[in-house]
Structure formats: structure tokens, C-alpha cells
Amino acid sequence: MLCIIVWWLVMLWKFCWAGDASSAKHPQDNTRFEKYSFNREELKHYKEETKKLFYFAHDNYLQKGYPYDELRPISCVPKTRNFADPDDQITNDVLGNFSVTLVDSLTTLAVMGDKSRFASMVGLVEATFPNKFDIDSTVQVFETTIRIVGGLISAHLYATDASKAVYLGETYSGSLLDLARDMADRLLPSYLTMTGLPVPRINLRSKFDPITIELVHENNVAAMASPMFEFTMLSYLTNDSKYALVTRYALNKTWALRSELQLLPMSFNPQTGQCYSQISGIGASIDSFYEYALKGAILFDDEELYKIWQDAYSALNTNSRADWFYTNVQSTTGQLQTVWIDSLSAFFPGLQVLAGDVEDAMLKHMLTSKLWDTFGGIPERWDFRGSPALDAKDHLTEEELRSLVPLEWYPLRPEYVESTYFLYRATKDTFYLNIGVAILESLQTKFKHQCGFGGFQDVTTGEPQDRMETFILSETLKYLYLLFDVDNELHSARDNVIFSTEAHPMWLTPQVINNYKSKKYFNDTTYRKHLHACRARDGGSAFSDKKKTFMGGKLLGFAKSFFNLKQDQDQVAASLSQGLAGIKGQTALAHPRTFPHEQMCYPVESSNGKPQWLHSRILSHFDRLFEIDRRYNTTLIKPGHMQQEVPALLRRGFYDRWAQKSAKSRPAPTTESFEIVLDLPGECQLVRTPDGNVHRNTLGGRTKIRLEKIEPGLIDIYGRHVDPKIFTNLRRKDLFKPNCDKIDSLYSPKMLYRATMINGIYLPAGAALTLNQSTVFKTQSEENTFRNLFGQNRYHQLMLDCVPIINFLLQ
């Protein structure tokens, strides 16, 4: 027995510590590690390498870019606001001539624990703004809030918290908070509209005088609602509640503009509340609304914000959630609106982790990983549907490939790294560390230029981008550093630390909370009168947040959209779903371009002597690992500059070490599926039990059920052959519809239905969807309506068109 124990210890030592030709030395000692062992020394090495990258860019900015806003990484000259053209929104919204890179990167130094440089940069900020932000610049309120106000507040928290490594003590005067308050006071007049919703831009010196109507007539949901987070933090730290009250009123007003499906359109006229864009999703223009509803609920212990998050997330899952991503839908109908997803939506898996929905977060993150492996970055927009005309071609020209990427740039956005960090903290799966290593190596090679870091101007050609946006230093490198820094003080902080949308850590101590509750004030008569007038105008208006009903409580309809799961489920479900009028679709278009690995199965060989309990759960047990490659093989096409790149998960050193020999892929389904949609009065209430069953006591609200059409011998969505025994001795007589008895084919069953998803919730194999018969019908009329849509057999299974739904039970 002792010999066996010794043998295992030796094998473990060899696996984790022994060096070989692929070993790397830690820069500060003689410890060696084997790459992809992911022991503490290897992670420490990656952490230090990430820190070097940050210092490289930060030093170059200070030497060649400061006091301007940004430094161009290739040409090594400052990038400034466009002083000659005030209408250059793309440039001037962010670059306010206020050294934004300096301010936005303060908290990365704090996270890295570099007290000396942090103190030096705080001093530089103080010297840079002797007159605070008295600058003749018209800027975007949202971007300035998250980068400047948020950055200053978070840095102030670090400077004044004795538990933090960069605590400055009595040497710090509170200047950062003073600057944050000055900037907030310059931005807050944007809320002085008839509706209380902020206009998107304001001049820091003269407010609205030089601003044209074209610059303020439309604002998006994220920009109207999200400043609540930073401004509420400012109220807690200053005791002046005007910041919290004014911005929270705007968030509530924004939420009141949602549709009857609880979906928010993306943009409005802040002066009138008129809707400009009916698109709803999770990406650009709306992303931070969801983020701050949940994060604000946690940080401020706010039940109302949490209810907003719950309702918004439920609506997204019902109307927008697909298997691998969230689609952009029409906010009033839930129908598909666009066939692209954008790069900012890559943040959402991290938010799902915070909400506890880790399982679906892993799925959504997988799609982003495939985009990274295909293009070397995340395109600003990617078309998941493609074109039938291109599907028939074996090779695409550069222009044809470009058509699959409507917006082709990748500015090193942080969202993919952010979600990777959160998923690793939740799962501790080395799959995510491996992604971090791949990102780090790309930063060291592809994206590192003479004076900093720049992404791709075009992901289809690999053309570099000569711009280093502030979020690269504030977010991208910060999240990458935290991924590898397992001992960072944030990971064991006593306080409830929440990252802002710009990755600035925020927390509230009990002392600050109690102090605010006892000493808060609201003395500013301008904003007191403003809120009073807004509330008075709200009475009976479209803004009043009254309880939503569905089309006056009428049954909207009953729809079926067929699509073939052998091919692209998300694409066809989106393109064929045409509303709630009982329209039937067609099967999916074939994809003639074949994927080189038809079965999606790769050989998995264990290293000799490798302990079997050391493995990546995703590599070894997630049998859908290559499903995305099959479904989207006509739109996930590697451009020329990526042809020699090996996907991160298939790099031999990682794959051989962390995949178990027993790993296998799920075969593609050969069944068909379709969806039915019901809209009934009331609210949707679902209860998911630990065994995967979903139970409902009521039928209120929107219900979207995905049904699978199963036949003997076919492969179902779970990768199993349909068992013929299911069809044996199954009586299909409808207890309520005599006409079913007249259909002879019903008594020689060849096809059944099975529910596989309800309102975005996946039903595992063997799970059931149940309705409580004693509570689900409040009136005889409701029951009759339901019976007209569904029948029921003696096994309590509901029936659709005289065909039983074997796991949809009325009990």
C-alpha cells in the first residue's frame, strides 16, 4: 500500500513540477514548471508577464501620450479629440482632453498592488487638474461617467481603505473624490429634461450652448440608465443624495419604457420618450442596463433593482435566448430583428455567473471562444446566419468573407477576458486558464506594437489598428491579471466588491453605509424642483410604471416554426419564426460546405501516469464542445492570417494534459423541433426542481415551449437514438377531442412530441414539464381555451394535434 502511495506522489510531482523542453523559468527564481500544468509558479509567471505588458503600455503613454487622452501604439503619437470638428462623435465622445488613459488606468495599478506607482499617479492626477474639469469639451455622459467618475471613485476607495495594499493614509487628501464630484456636477445637468431622461452629451464648461439638436436627440438605454451606479456610489461617499436620486429616477423611467413583453428597445428621444430603435438584445446600447440592475442590487442591497433584473432576465430568456447566444429581437413581438451579434455581448456570461446561471454562461462563452479561434479576435459584429449564395462555395474571396462580418474591427475589447475570468472563478476549470494563456500570447505577439497595444482594424485581413483605447489598460489587462493572480486581495476581501462596467472595483463598508443613512441630504433646489416636476408629469402618462398586461388579457395566438436540428438550429429558428399566427416554416437550408471533422470527435489520449482526477471538466465531460463548429461552419471561416493557428483548446500540450481518454462528442441530432408560443394574462412563474423538472402553478404571461418531434431510430437532441419502447402500448385517445379517435394512424404510433425547453430553460433528458391542474385554471373559460389548444390522454400527457407530448403533464 505504501508503495502505491509513493508511486502516485511521484507521478503527481512529475505532472505538476518536473521540467522538460517546454519548461519555462520564472523570472525571479530558479523554479521550473511544465507549461499547462497551471501550478502556482506557472500562474505567477503569467501574472508577472501580464504586469510587464501593462507597464510597457503605461510607460509609453506617460512618455509619449500624456497629457493627451490616448497614445497611438504604432505611430507613437498622441491621439486627441477632434478640435476641428465638434460633430466627430466617435472621437470626441470619449476623448475629452482630460488625460483619460491616466485616470482610467489608476485602478489597474491598485489591483496589482503597486503602491509606489499608484501614489505617483494620484499625485500626477492632482497636478494635471488644478482647475478640476473646467474644460471646453463636449463629451458623452455615459463614457465619461464610467471612465472618469468611476475611475476616480474606485481609486479613492483604494487610497482610503487601510485593508488595501495601496492604502495611502494621511498622505492622501481626498482629491480624487473631489475631482469625481466636480465631474459629476458637470454631467448632471444632462438630466434636466422634460422626462428626466438624460441627453447623451454635454459640454463640461458651458453645458448646452454649443450643442446642436443632432447631438442630443437620441440616447440609448445603457446611457440613460447606467450612470445610476457610479452616481449612487458618489452619494454614499459624499452624503449628497442628489446624485443617486436623479440618476435612479432616470433608470426607473427607462425601465417603464419597456414593452408588454418586458423587453426594452435600445434607444429613445430623451426629451419626449419617443422610441427610435425597437431592437432588444444584450449587446451595444443596452448591455450595461442589465449589468447595473444586477450589480446595483448587490452593491446597494436594493430589492427593487433585483426585481428589475429578474424580470428583464426572464424576458430575455423567453424571447431572445438561443442555444449559443442571445439574438436581437423586436421588443414588442419577440421576433428576430437582426441576424448578427456584437462583441459587447461577450460580457453577458460573466454577468450570468454573478446571477448564478453558470451552466448557460458556459454555453454562451463557448461561442465567443470559437469567434476568437476563428478570427484571432472578436469582430464588432458577426453574422450568424450567413448567405445561401455563399454556402454553395468551397472558397470565399476576401470581400465575400467580409460580408459575414458586418463590422470588422476588434479594438481589444475586454468583454471576452472578463467573462473568462468570472467563469474561472466560478468553476476553477483549467479550460479558462488555457484561454487566458492564448490571449496573453496574442497580446505579446499579434497586438503588441512599438508603443503599446492595438487590435485589428479588420479581423478578416489581420490589418492592425493604430489605437490603444483606455479600456485596454483599465479592463483587458486587469481581468487577465486577476485571472492568473489567485492570491489577489480582491479574491478574499471582506467587503462585497463589485466591478463597474469599466472594471473599476467598488465596495461599501458598513461604516460608509450607516454614515450615509444617518447624514444624507438633498439641498440642491434645482434638482429637487426638477424631480418634483417630472413626477407630476408622470401621472397617467406613458412613463407611469403601471402593471403590464398582455394585449388587454387576450390570447395572442399559437405558433409553430419548424426547423431541422441536424443543421443550424439557432439560424433557422430565428429566420423561420414569423410571429404568433400559426405560420409554419420550412426546413433549414442545406450547408454544402463540409466541415473537415464531420463527427466532431477528436482523439483523446491520456499522458502515461497521469492521475485521472486531474482533468478539465469541459474537455472531458462537455459533449457539445465542437457543436458550434458544425452548426456555423459556413460563417465561422478562418481568414488567411489565421490559417496556421491552432485553436486554444486543441493545443497539444493543453489537450493531452487535461482531457480524459473517455471524452467523446455528442452526435448531431436527426430529429426536428419547433416552438409554440402562448400569451395569457398574468405573470409567468416557473419552478425548477433539482432533478431538472419544471413546474407551473399558473399559465400567466408569455410561454415559449420548444418541442422535439421524435421517431424510432432517429438521434434526439441529447445525442441518443430514440428508443422504440417509448411507442409501445401508448394509447393516444384524447379525453376531450373525439375527432382524434377517427384518425387511424394514431393507433400505430410512429411519431411523438417531447418538450425540451420552456422560456429559455433547458429540460435535461428524462425531465418533465408539469402543470398543477387545481391551480392552473382560474375560470372555466380559461380551461376551455386551453383545451381547445391542447388535448389530454389518460396518462395525463397533453396532446398537440392529437399527438401526445410525452413529458408535458397536467397533474
Residue 18: per-residue pLDDT: 35
Mean pLDDT, the chain, rounded, equals 86
Active-site hit among 42, 143, 161, 342 = 143
Final residue in a domain of this structure, among 64, 81, 108: 64
Q: Which three cell numbers stand for residue 141?
A: 455622459
Active-site hit among 380, 418, 672, 679 = 380
Q: Is the pLDDT of residue 231 over 50?
A: yes
Geometric angle at alpha carbon 220, from 217 and 223, rounded to 5° = 105
Q: Is 501 annotated as a binding residue?
A: yes
Residue 512: per-residue pLDDT: 97
Classified as helix, coil or strand, 704 is: strand
Geometric angle at alpha carbon 415, from 409 and 420, rounded to 5° = 125
The full DSSP string for 150-208 is HHHHHHHHHHH-TTSTT--GGG--SHHHHHHHHHHHHHGGGG-SSSSPPPSEEETTTBT
CA–CA dist 203, 249 (Å, integer): 22
pLDDT, tens digit, 9 for 90 and up, residues 16-31: 433 333 334 444 444 5
Residue 243 CB contacts under 8 Å (≥ 6 apart), including other chains? 184, 188, 231, 232, 234, 235
Place of cell 503605461: 58
Q: Is 42 a catalytic residue?
A: no
Q: Is residue 27 part of a domain?
A: yes
The bridge status of strand 672-680 relative to strand 219-220 is unpaired
Q: Is the pLDDT of residue 386 over 90?
A: no
Q: Is 0.85 surpassed by the pTM of this model?
A: yes
Q: Is residue 41 part of a domain?
A: yes
pLDDT, tens digit, 9 for 90 and up, residues 160-207: 999 999 999 999 999 999 999 999 999 999 999 999 999 999 999 999
* 561 membership: H or E segment, kind and range: strand 561-564
Q: Is 415 a catalytic residue?
A: yes
Q: Is 380 a catalytic residue?
A: yes
* 8 membership: H or E segment, kind and range: helix 2-16
What mean pLDDT do residues 208-236 have? 95
Q: Which three cell numbers stand for residue 727?
A: 411507442
Q: Is the pLDDT of residue 227 over 50?
A: yes
Place of cell 424510432: 712
Q: Is residue 255 part of a domain?
A: no
* Structural domain range at position 8: 1-64
Report the length, in residues, of the chain: 811
- Can you name the residues that pair with 687 across neighbouring β-strands? 695
Q: Is 801 a catalytic residue?
A: no
Confidence of residue 105 (pLDDT cuts 50, 70, 90): very high
What mean pLDDT do residues 698-703 have? 84
Strand positions, DSSP E, 614-729 = 672-680, 687-688, 694-696, 701-710
Q: Is residue 43 part of a domain?
A: yes
pLDDT, tens digit, 9 for 90 and up, residues 263-285: 999 999 999 999 999 999 999 99
The bridge status of strand 70-71 relative to strand 279-280 is unpaired
* 782 membership: H or E segment, kind and range: helix 780-789
pLDDT, tens digit, 9 for 90 and up, residues 406-427: 999 999 999 999 999 999 999 9
Active-site hit among 49, 415, 418, 708 = 415
Residue 786: per-residue pLDDT: 79
Number of domains observed in the structure of the chain:
2
pLDDT, tens digit, 9 for 90 and up, residues 538-568: 885 555 544 433 222 222 333 333 233 333 4
Final residue in a domain of this structure, among 64, 84, 102: 64
Q: Of 247, 137, 129, 240, which Cα lies nearest the Cα of 188?
A: 247
Final residue in a domain of this structure, among 14, 44, 64: 64
Higher per-residue pLDDT: 85 or 552: 85
- Can you name the residues that pair with 201 across neighbouring β-strands? 140
Q: Is residue 413 part of a domain?
A: no
Active-site hit among 287, 373, 408, 429 = 287
Residue 373: per-residue pLDDT: 97
Q: Is residue 622 part of a domain?
A: no
Residue 783: per-residue pLDDT: 79
Q: Is residue 804 part of a domain?
A: yes
